[in-house]
Structures are given as structure tokens and as C-alpha cells.
Chain A
Amino acid sequence: MMVTESLEAGPDRLSDALIRLVSVGKVFDDAPSSADQRGRKGRSTAGTNALTDVSLSIAKGEFVALLGPSGCGKSTILNMIAGFEKPTQGSVIVGGKDVIGPGPERGVVFQKPTLFPWLSVIDNVTFGARMAGIAPSVYLPRAEDYLRRVGLKGFERHAPWQLSGGMQQRVALARAWILNPSILLMDEPFGALDAQTRMMMQELVSGVWTLTGTTIVFVTHDVDEALYVADRILVMSARPGRILENLTVDAERPRDIEALAADPRIGALRRHILHRVRQEVRLSIEAFS
């Protein structure tokens, strides 16, 4: 299968792009962190090549899934857009500016809920607003609204650890979304949940997205999840990660999981993606053996 050199996955008109990655490469130092580097000068500095020459652009309001085998660097892409990590090559541009660090206009939902256990549900959800110095009269009604949206009305005073994993992740979702970020980055947010809860969460995210129109980058290794939530799927290769394919999911919203499964076009797309992903997994296993 051929991969075009100039494959810049995304909208044709670059001016529309809210997020752009231009020939991004990322090499991780294998050496221990700077804190304990003394006396290690002779060591090779080859490092791990996580990403090579990744270019993509994502338009405002798009829902894009990054799909690939584990270890392919899809989370690294997300971390670079979030500003947690810097590319070793190329540039990551959001809203026309190079990303220099994390900021509240780029919300993140992590694989684990990562709530603050010393705060109640409502205090977790309003954390960002309180840090920004917004008045309670402004953020409290909004928080109530978001908690209702994610189905957690009545749990305001609960401690996070009193909730199930799915409920915790819904709090995390509300906490990120309530700040009205222009971009929401999701790093396998439902990977740790059971299949039924996961489906419910996918419906929830899809539903809230229809209302807010937030630009979403959604990292997953689950083909069905990508097909259900996203408008566009970027399929990634095994490490070092590249973008292999840029596929549009042409299905009406609101989507219905059963109708989606019955749609022959989606079925063909699903088979095609599965084939590509399996190929990549095989390659990466061979590379290790």
C-alpha cells in the first residue's frame, strides 16, 4: 500500500485549520531525566523514535479520531498539541501560533479521570473557573447544567472516590468541557471502562459535541469507537508513527450504534481500517522478535 509523500491529512484550505502539525518528528531520550544524568557522558544518545514526519491539519469544529496500534505515538501527538511535550522536529501550530505550553483553551480528558480526590464533584468541575477567578454566581449554574448533561445531577457533594470509574470519567469530561475550550483533546478516555459504559460515554461525547461544536481530537485504538464518534479518522502506522490514511466517516448525526453497524459503507470502511491496523500491529510484533 502506498503512502503519498505530501499527505497532509485535513481540510483543503489551510486557512481553515485550527490545529496544524508540519513535518513533526519526536525522538524520546532514552537517557534518564536530567536530574540523574551525572557521569553518563559515554552513553549513546540514540533515543526512541516515536514519530516521523507527521503532518496534519484539523479544522475548527471537526471531530477527528487518531487511530493506531499501542505505542504508535498517537498520545504523543495529543501531548504536543496540549503543550506537555515539544516536537524534536517540525512545528505544532494551534490557532496560527506555535504551541509553547499547556493552556485552558486546549482542554484534556486523560485516560484516567485524574480528578482531585480532596475536592467534591462540583468543586472538581468548577476548578478551572475558580482558578480563573470567575464569580460563583456565574460558574455554579453552568456547572449544574454540565453535571445534568453528563447525568450526574445529585452527585455534586460526593467525593470522586465514591463514584464508579465511568462516573468519574464523566466528571472529568464536565470539568474539561465547562471551560468552553476551543479544542478538547481526549487520550483514550474510555479505554479503562467496561464495554457497556464505554458505549454510553461515546454517545454522551457525541451528543455534547453536537451541541457545543468543540474541535475534538480523540485518541483511540478501538476501530468501532473511532467510527462511532469521529467525522474523520487518521490511521497511524506502528512506531515510528506516521499517518497512513485519512478517512472520512460519512454518517448522519445523531448516530445510532445499531444503524451504524448495519450501514454497508461503514462496514466496508471498518474492514478496511481493521486490515490496515492489523497489518501495522503485525509489523511492530515482527520488529520486536
Chain B
Amino acid sequence: MKFKHRSAISIASVVTVIVVWQLAGQFKWVDPLLLPPPSEVVRTAVDLMVHGYQQVPLWQNILISIARAVFAFAASILIGVPLGLLMGMSPPFSAMLDPFVQFLRPLPKIALIPLTVVWFGIGEGSKFFLIFISSFLSIVVGAAAAVQGVSSARLRAAQVLGASRTQIFRHVVLPNTLPELFTSVRLSLGIGWTSLIAAELVASNSGLGWMVMNAGDYLRTDVVIVGIVLLGLIGYLLDVLLVLAQRRFVPWSGKDA
């Protein structure tokens, strides 16, 4: 299917859902208190931008959530990628860390929230830790797997061209793992974003997650929906940025020669 056709269908489908949603509110098919129509959501969004939610401007909540995510995410890449590469290169090292990684990785990170609150309070520390630990683990696993995915044919080709062990790592293994690294970074971004919101929902007094939770307590479903839409859009936007970066930096992704 052509890209143009695909996008046309996608846009039409989104517009249809919004129109039906609007009509459902307009004609009271559903109680607007349970599901406020798009027109009201937009009005609320504008109001939040101008007046803020409980005196906190909307952009401030957006920024603080993004800042938390980006900061912890960057840290998990900076530590997780080298650690994963090391695990991929060294079987003993991998054997040493693997049990912990494999235990923690499938663990729902929400279960760690009570502990993190006890350890770090409800300040920035607990948020950082939760996002970090969830994205970090999946990056480590992804990076380790990426190293092992280097084909022996490619390694042999480098060997007969006279490359030393360190040269092979630097000039073959690293570039060879980049496409997969990008993929695991994308996956872990989603995971990190999810944990951030979970953390903000439970233990926070700022951020989009907090705004959604708090508005729910006061039955401000319009604010809740504004928050949900923003959370979804920002997550989508971050992913698109990563896809663009991937196209820019690893154009050979998925290509073979």
C-alpha cells in the first residue's frame, strides 16, 4: 500500500472517531461528565494553558514530565549501552550480571514504587530511579543481544583484512550493533515513559501524571482527558524523534550486503 493512501485512511479514521465522540457528547448518548466531548476537552486545554491547573501552568507540568523522562533516559543509555556491550563481549561478565537483569527486567516496575518512595521520598529521586531502572534494564539486554548478533562472516571478513581485536570491536562490532541498539532504545523509551507516569500517578505533586490523577479525584474528567491526550502525543513524538535519528545515523539499518 502506498504511503499516501495509508496516511489518508489513517487521518479519515481518526477524524471519524473524533466526530462520533463529539456527537455522542452533543446528543447526550453518554454522560458528558463520564466522557466530555472533544470541544470541551479543547476548551479545557486552552483554559489550562492560560490559567493552569491548581495554579500550576500546563506547560510547567509538561516540561517537568519531559525533563524527568529525558534526564533519566539519557542516564540509562549512557550506563546501559556500555554495560550491555560489555556483557555481550564477555561471557563471564554476562553470567555474573544476567541473573539480576533477567529477574528485574520482567518485574512490573510499579511494584517497586512503594520501595522507591521509602528510599527516595516523593521527590525527584524516586521518579529518576523508576524511569532509569525500567529503561536501563531493557537497554542492557538489547545491547548485549545486539553484540551477539554480529555475524561470524563479518568478523571473519574483518580478520582477513588484518583488523586487530580492538579494531574489530571499534570498526565492525559497534557499527554492526547500532541499528539494533536504536531499536532497543526505542522500546525502552516506551517502557520508561510508562514508568514515569506510573510514578507521577502514585507519588508526586507535579507533572502530567500527577495532574491526571489529581483531576480524577475531583471528577474533572475533562482535565483527565487533556492529560491522557498529551501523554499519548508526547510519547508518540519522542518515538518519532528516535525514528528520525535512526534514519539519520544508521541508514544501513535492515540492509545487508
Report A's interface with B, CB cutoff 8 A: 35, 82, 84, 101-104, 106-108, 110, 112-118, 127-128, 131-132, 159-161, 163, 168, 175-176, 179
Quick one: closest A residue to B161, CB to CB?
A128
Closest CB of chain A to B91's CB: distance in Å?
A: 7
B172 within 8 A of A: yes
Closest CB of chain A to B149's CB: distance in Å?
A: 14
Q: List 9 A-B contacts (CB under 8 A).
A: A82-B160, A104-B162, A106-B160, A112-B153, A114-B153, A117-B255, A118-B175, A131-B164, A160-B255
Report B's interface with A, CB cutoff 8 A: 91, 153-154, 156-164, 167, 171-172, 175-176, 178, 250-252, 255-257
Quick one: closest A residue to B178, CB to CB?
A118
On whether the beta carbons of B172 and A102 are closer than 8 Å, the reply is no
Residues of A within 8 A of B176 (CB): 118
Interface centre among B159, B252, B255, B257 (most CB of A within 10 A): B257
Closest CB of chain B to A143's CB: distance in Å?
A: 13
| Bound form: Cα–Cα A227–B47 in Å | 84
**B contacts with A: majority SS:** helix
Taking a contact as CB atoms closer than 8 A, the residue among A107, A113, A117 that contacts B160 in the complex is A107
Taking a contact as CB atoms closer than 8 A, the residue among A35, A84, A101, A160 that contacts B257 in the complex is A160
Residues of A within 8 A of B171 (CB): 116, 127, 131
On whether the beta carbons of A131 and B178 are closer than 8 Å, the reply is no
Closest CB of chain B to A109's CB: distance in Å?
A: 9
On whether the beta carbons of B161 and A131 are closer than 8 Å, the reply is yes
| Bound form: Cα–Cα A168–B157 in Å | 14
Closest CB of chain B to A76's CB: distance in Å?
A: 14
On whether the beta carbons of A116 and B153 are closer than 8 Å, the reply is no
Residues of A within 8 A of B162 (CB): 103-104, 128, 131-132, 179
Residues of B within 8 A of A116 (CB): 154, 157-158, 171-172, 175, 257
Taking a contact as CB atoms closer than 8 A, the residue among B159, B160, B172, B256 that contacts A161 in the complex is B256
On whether the beta carbons of A113 and B257 are closer than 8 Å, the reply is yes
On whether the beta carbons of A108 and B157 are closer than 8 Å, the reply is yes
Closest CB of chain A to B36's CB: distance in Å?
A: 50
Residues of A within 8 A of B172 (CB): 116
Closest CB of chain B to A229's CB: distance in Å?
A: 20
Closest CB of chain B to A50's CB: distance in Å?
A: 18
Residues of A within 8 A of B167 (CB): 131
